[in-house]
Structure 1
């Protein structure tokens, strides 16, 4: 059974890592996908690999003009939008004493402001399509402390999700946040961090890091009609870390 049959999804930051895992699973489950990213080479390669039901659009998620362009291309190519996955984001492991104002504002723009622009821009077209699902990728650091800048913005995504869920419910649009813990993406398991990640894994109740596909399965559930009565909620995928 194709759980996303006849649905059109926009997935930001979809060229690699967790975003690419989301794109692959959505296509496998019958969706048409517009994947966006700044990494044109990887984005084009993934779209070419997955076939006619995927198109790549280069996008700066902090740009309202780029969001309007993504929507115009989506409507021209697929005619509707049913799902938005706000996946694009960055992190920076600096102390509040070391991070510059410019660096801080960059994290806020990419992790937080982009989610606001995306929801605001997509909602009218999604409503014309009969409603839909917005999935905002936060983090376990949207629930507990982590690096300054990253934690702040991921808490903000959690709050925006709840506010938007109330604003958009009457339009048939559901809004939920996903809170991954430590995920085995290339950035996390590269050689210079691999040993530290393995050591940290011992502190996780399930004694391992998650695979990207485990996050994608939750995102799939929220994109599908199976989650039709879930909105304004957090869905945590952290192996039990925040339950301790």
Structure 2
């Protein structure tokens, strides 16, 4: 498998280095939620560099039009990421149709927001029976992306052990993983969960030659949002970033095999001239309680992400007598 170093904190990613676009030619890229917004811009950017892009999305009509626009090195697979079987179909299609029967880069971008309805938020009648909430946002954003991760690992491990292949997994998160966003209960919980997945998985991904990173947009310009609502947000101090900057950020991560276990934040150009920067808040570098306990945790959790490792261990990870 591709040899990667164990994760350790070495400082923030230098985002001023441009993506090495030439390495994307003939790479197989899966992008969930790739028919609209940030996903679409990312699909366009990768396809323009000669990558074979599999767009997974629920919007069949739009997906087919995008493939007609982008050309023969793209394909569309209708997919509800909350359904395991749909996602299996996406990965199988990518392997079958890509130039090298490969799956090199997986961008888990699909997700839904509070606009789809958050059943945790409404205050129900206290004199009536409690109402069981629908957790659709969590099911799509968190559970669906965990399905994508599980499948990516499975298909990455089928990958030939050669320099021209890759095992790169990128998740679309959100800035709400670091800031409070009142009323965004399910959405914020789901994005915190994905950041947690990245932070814990990065400690073992080198054992399977896999890289995992997290991209955190905040307010991105989108045709989905009405002009009136966008104007209202601007009046309240929101600065929008263009979706093209998301695509460039994804490309930076996908083309540099030294980047693993980082969160990059999409920012307005007034904050970072590249349009993105390393959040640099995923490690405890100052001496004290958190750093000491992080180091202890890494000593006591000895699990190896290798087949058969757990045979001599209890469910907790202790050595069997």
Question: TM-score under structure 1 normalisation?
Answer: 0.89
- Structure-1 separation of matches of 2:210 and 2:197: 14
Cα RMSD over matched residues? 2.1
1:45 paired residue number = 65
Secondary structure of 1:187's aligned partner: coil
1:3, 1:30 within 8 Å by CA — same for their partners in 2? Answer: no
Alignment of 1:24-173 (within 5 A): 24-78=44-98, 79-92=101-114, 96-98=120-122, 101-103=132-134, 105-129=135-159, 130=161, 131-146=166-181, 147-173=184-210
1:7, 1:32 within 8 Å by CA — same for their partners in 2? Answer: yes
- Structure-1 separation of matches of 2:120 and 2:82: 23
Structure (1/2) with the larger helix percentage: 1
- Structure-2 separation of matches of 1:95 and 1:186: 26
Question: Where do 4+ consecutive residues of structure 1 move more than 3 Å?
Answer: 93-97, 99-103, 239-243
- TM superposition shift of 1:69: 1.1
1:209 paired residue number = 240
Mean Cα deviation higher: 13-22 or 91-100: 91-100
- TM superposition shift of 1:166: 2.6
- Structure-2 separation of matches of 1:85 and 1:135: 5
Which of these two proteins has the greater Rg computed from alpha carbons?
A: 2
- TM superposition shift of 1:163: 2.2
Matched, 1:220 2:251: yes
Distance of aligned partners of 1:191 and 1:133 in 2 relative to their CA distance in 1, 3 Å threshold: same
- TM superposition shift of 1:101: 4.6
1:7, 1:31 within 8 Å by CA — same for their partners in 2? Answer: yes
Matched, 1:20 2:57: no
Q: Any gaps of 5 or more consecutive residues in structure 1? A: none
- TM superposition shift of 1:233: 1.4
- Structure-2 separation of matches of 1:76 and 1:60: 20
- Structure-2 separation of matches of 1:96 and 1:67: 27
1:13, 1:37 within 8 Å by CA — same for their partners in 2? Answer: yes
Mean Cα deviation higher: 38-47 or 160-169: 160-169
Secondary structure of 2:56's aligned partner: strand
Q: Any gaps of 5 or more consecutive residues in structure 2? A: 1-20, 124-130, 273-278, 281-321
Question: TM-score under structure 2 normalisation?
Answer: 0.68
Number of residue pairs aligned between Structure 1 and Structure 2: 234
- Structure-1 separation of matches of 2:173 and 2:258: 20
